[in-house]
Amino acid sequence: MKTKTLVIIISAVLAISLAASAILYFGGERKTAEIYVDGELLRSIDLAAVTETQTFTVETEEGANVIEVERGRIRVSDADCPDRVCVRSGWLSEGDIPIVCLPHGLVIRLSSGGEVDSVSR
């Protein structure tokens, strides 16, 4: 009787954990990557809708940045700027710190689709 009760308890905990994980993974807040060049929105990408790795180049008069997008994250994988801080920033998947390439005027930031506050206007 103890073994049967233990199996039922473990099964229930496992089922609840799997359901919670599925809700967090599939039903969580949708994030959009917004790519700006010189303050103007160039492209907006729904990171949850990305099914395979995408790579494209953003070219400006000052130079070029290669952008790589995967499900849930985005990065600058290559750039011809002298300091390459944007490349060293790595993947952006959460948080408030954008990827910035000052020499090229490029900014990549995440938006969660919520209301815009007075600071970000």
Q: Are 30 and 48 in contact (CB under 8 A)?
A: yes
**Residue 118 counted as domain residue:** no
Q: How do residues 80-103 score in pLDDT, each as one tens digit?
A: 999 999 999 999 988 778 999 999
Query: In the sheet where 54-59 sits, what is the strand order?
Result: 54-59, 64-70, 73-79
18 belongs to a structural domain: no
| Domain membership flag for residue 12 | no
Q: Print the domain residue range for 87.
A: 30-111
- Residue 104 within a domain: yes
Predicted pLDDT at 4 = 83
Closest Cα partner for 80 from 103, 54, 100?
Answer: 103
pLDDT tens digits for range 37-72: 999 999 999 998 898 999 999 999 999 999 999 999
Query: Is residue 51 included in any domain, yes or no?
Result: yes
% pLDDT > 70, the chain: 84
- Kindly report the pTM of this predicted structure: 0.69
Helix (H) or strand (E) holding 88: helix 85-88
CATH at 34: 2.60.320.10
Question: Is residue 7 domain-resident?
Answer: no
pLDDT at residue 113, rounded to an integer: 61
CB 95 within 8 A of CB 110: yes
Residue 71 in domain? yes
Q: How confident is the model at residue 25, as a pLDDT? A: 64
- 14 assigned to some structural domain: no
Question: Do residues 89 and 78 lie in contact, with contact meaning Cβ atoms separated by under 8 Å?
Answer: no
Would you state the pLDDT for residue 29? Answer: 62
Q: How many domains does the chain have?
A: 1
Q: Give all strands of the β-sheet with 99-101 in edge-to-edge order.
A: 40-46, 32-37, 106-111, 99-101
pLDDT of amino acid 78:
95
